[in-house]
Structures are given as structure tokens and as C-alpha cells.
Amino acid sequence: MRVSASLAMVGGNTLEWYEFALYGYLTAVMAPLFFPASNPWLSLVLMFATFAISFVMRPIGGLFLGALGDRVGRKPILILSVSAMSLLTLCIGLLPTYHSVGFAAPTMLVMIRLLQGLLISSEFTGATIFQIESNPLKHRGFFGSLIQSSTFLGTLLATVIIGITTLCLGESKMMTFGWRLPYLLAPIFGVVILLLRLGVGESDTNKQELSFSGALKTLFMNYSPQLVMGFFIPAAATAGVYFFIYEVTYVVHYVHASFLHAIMMVSVCYASIILMMPLFAHWADKMGHIEFSKKSLGALILFSVPIFWLLSRDNIWLIFSGLFLLGLCLAPYFSINTVIIAELFPQNIRFMSLAFILNFSIALFGATTPLISFYLLRITGNAMAPGMYFILLGIMSWIFILLYPRYQIGPVEAERLQG
């Protein structure tokens, strides 16, 4: 039962990040199809802006769906999210382009992205909460890290499918119809995951009896310091994930490497991260989550300078080395990031708290990373500028990790306290 439940949770989050990765990695292909412009850079910016705008809805959706998940249980919300993911990803794959319907094409794309942000906002946090509430306390880091790992599993699946499609069809056909095929596969994955989720029971949770307004008042009146910490702690980890998406477009447009080579490069990095994260989380369960987070984030900040020096080169092998080193340094901290934030809140408002604050953090620090990176590159002409931005986020996260023990409820007390 525990295995099938874990598969159902990991599968759903994999599907979520599969779709996000598709959009991110196919930006270079889809930009001229939906936002044609005489300046290719403007097309890219508009495409990345559409990528980021969907995240505006995620904190709002997380607040309402998370509160509902605290009242009716985790399972119904997780069934809703996987159903919405499958349907809306299919819709993107069937969209007409600007050449066919004009301005209606980007308008429909933006509307679908906004709906995705609203309805899928509870997937990542809900799956993580389900995992940590359904498994032994002493292994929370490990089981929670499986959801974190599936973030990269989804992106790896997307890169592999895009790579195979590109290899089979060629880059010219990817520009016409080939980009649609990876999107059209999503509903097949979604049906399998939906059947798995329908077959699992509810997590070990006590449904809260507070009204939505009561839960909201409890969260903002009693746990405002925890909300601030939950917002800033994942900043570096979130931005690190999205830097991989940025690098694919950077390699294609500035290093002039082939799209297929860029995809293969990040695929190798993702595979290594997926294998490393549960091992690091198991280590964190033994060492202590906060002590492990301090050391792993410190190492990530320390190695950021050589990492981004490598990433700013115009040699694909040096860039690959930088990405691999980024993955190696990011994996330890990212592996237990959501688990430590979950331990800031009691169980009866945990879903709402995490779904709101993590989505808010991802919207500001994650989804905007490719856009901010290209903007910094454009105005400074310095390929190291995005790295300086990342280091700033890392220092900010590290400060709040140091403050964490003052506000942690703790894994045991969090189950006992009811607001």
C-alpha cells in the first residue's frame, strides 16, 4: 500500500513538472509560432513572460485548494490536480498558432497557463504533505525527497521525449507540428496516475474544522513569521531548478549549439540529481534537517562562483561541467527543502500554508528566473550576471535558515498543535 501510494504521489508531481519542462524547453521552438516578431529576443521574452504569468495564479489557487485539502482531506485535491494537468496540457498541444488565428493564439495560450496555475497549484505541496504524513517520522526527509526528485524526473522525461522527437523528426519539423507530440502524450500518463490515486487511501491526517476565514486568520495572525521564512528559504533551491531551463535557451541562442545537444546535456544532469537526492535526504534524516540544510546551502553558495563561471563560457563542455556541478551542489539542499518548511506549520492548516507560501515563492523566485537572467544578460552583456543574482538569493535563503530554529514547530509538535 505504501509503495502504490508513493508511486501515485511521485507520478502526479512528475506529470506536473513534465508539462512545465515542455513549455520551458520548447520556448525556442514555440516563441515564433505564438509571438512572431522581427526581433527574436522579443519573442523569447514574451514566451518566458507567459511562462511566468501562470505562476501569478498559483498562490491564489494554493490558498483556496490548500484550505479545501485541510477540510476534506488530501486525496480529493490531488485527484483534481492530476485531472486538470492532463486536460490542460492536452489543450496546449491542440492550440492553433498565430499564423492560423492571429492574436487569438497567444490569448488562448495565456488563458490556459492561468488555468494551470490556478488548478495545479496544490499538486507539489499536496503530494509532499501526503508523503510525510503517511510515512514514519524518522524517514520524513527520505520520503519527502521522492517528490522533490520527481521534479527532476518530470523534467528528465520531458527532455528525453523532446530529444527523441527531435531526433526522429528533425528540427525543421519540430517547428511545424513536432512540438505538439510531447504535449499530446500527457493525458496517457495522466490516466495511469489518476487510477493509482483513486486506489490509495487518505493520508494520516485530522481534517480541520475551521472555516476558510478562520483558517486564514489563524495562518496570518499566528504564523506570520513562519510564512516569511517559508517564502525565503526555498528561494535559492527554486531558482536553481529553473536555471536549467534558462541554460537550454542560452546554449541554443548564444553558444549556437544544437537544440538536441542542449537537451542531452541537461538530461544527464537530471538523471544524476534524481539518483542523488534520496541519498542526501536519508543522510539529512540522520544528521538533522536544519544542520544539514545549513551545510548544504553554504556549500551551494560557496561553489556558485566557479559554477556560473563555467556556465558563462561559450564552450558546451564547460557549460555541461557547470550544470553537472550545479546539480551536485543543489541536490542536497533541495532534497529536504519542502519537508523543513512543512515543519513550520501545524497539520490542520499545513496544506493551505504550504500551497500558498511555496507557490508564492516559486512565482517570484522560480518562474521569473529565466526572464530575469535573460534581462540581466541583455542589459549588462555579462554572462556571469545571472550567477550574481543566484548568489544573492542563496545568501538570503541562508539567513532565514539560520533563523529557522526560533520558529520551527517541529515534526512532533506540528501534529499536536491545532492552530
Q: What is the pTM of this model?
A: 0.83
The grid coordinates of residue 76 equal 480529493
Residue 273: the pLDDT is 93
Q: Give tens-digit pLDDT for 245-254.
A: 788 878 887 8
Residue 142: the pLDDT is 92
Mean pLDDT of 261-269: 86
| 3-class DSSP assignment, residue 407 | coil
Confidence of residue 205 (pLDDT cuts 50, 70, 90): low
Residue 52 has pLDDT above 70, yes or no: yes
Percent of the residues in the chain that have a pLDDT greater than 70, as a whole number = 95
Q: Which of 361, 265, 273 is nearest to 58 (CA)?
A: 361
Q: Give tens-digit pLDDT for 72-126.
A: 888 899 999 999 999 999 999 999 998 899 889 989 999 999 998 888 888 989 9
Residue 295: the pLDDT is 94
Residue 409: the pLDDT is 65
Q: Give tens-digit pLDDT for 161-199.
A: 988 998 898 878 888 889 999 999 999 999 999 999 998
Residue 83: the pLDDT is 93
- Domains by residue range for the chain, with CATH: 2-197+209-408 (1.20.1250.20)
Spatial separation of the C-alpha atoms in residues 234 and 270, rounded to whole Å? 19
Residue 214: the pLDDT is 84
Supply the DSSP symbol for 12: H
More confident residue, 259 or 69: 69
Confidence of residue 419 (pLDDT cuts 50, 70, 90): very low
Residue 1: the pLDDT is 55
Q: Give tens-digit pLDDT for 382-397.
A: 888 999 999 999 999 9
Residue 414: the pLDDT is 42
CA 177 to chain centre: 27
Average pLDDT of the residues of the chain = 87
Q: CB–CB of 116/23 below 8 Å? A: no
Residue 412 has pLDDT above 60, yes or no: no
Please count the CA atoms within 13 angstroms of the CA of 27 that sit on its side-chain side: 28
Spatial separation of the C-alpha atoms in residues 409 and 412, rounded to whole Å? 8
Q: Which of 346, 375, 341, 340 is nearest to 360 (CA)?
A: 341
Exposure string of 331-369, with b = 16+ CB inside 10 Å and e = fewer, is bbbbbbbbbbbbbbbbbbbbbbbbbbbbbbbbbbbbbbb
Report in angstroms the alpha-carbon separations of 275 from 30, 31, 118, 193, 281: 31, 33, 31, 22, 11
Residue 232: the pLDDT is 94
Report in angstroms the alpha-carbon separations of 193 from 10, 66, 199: 9, 20, 10
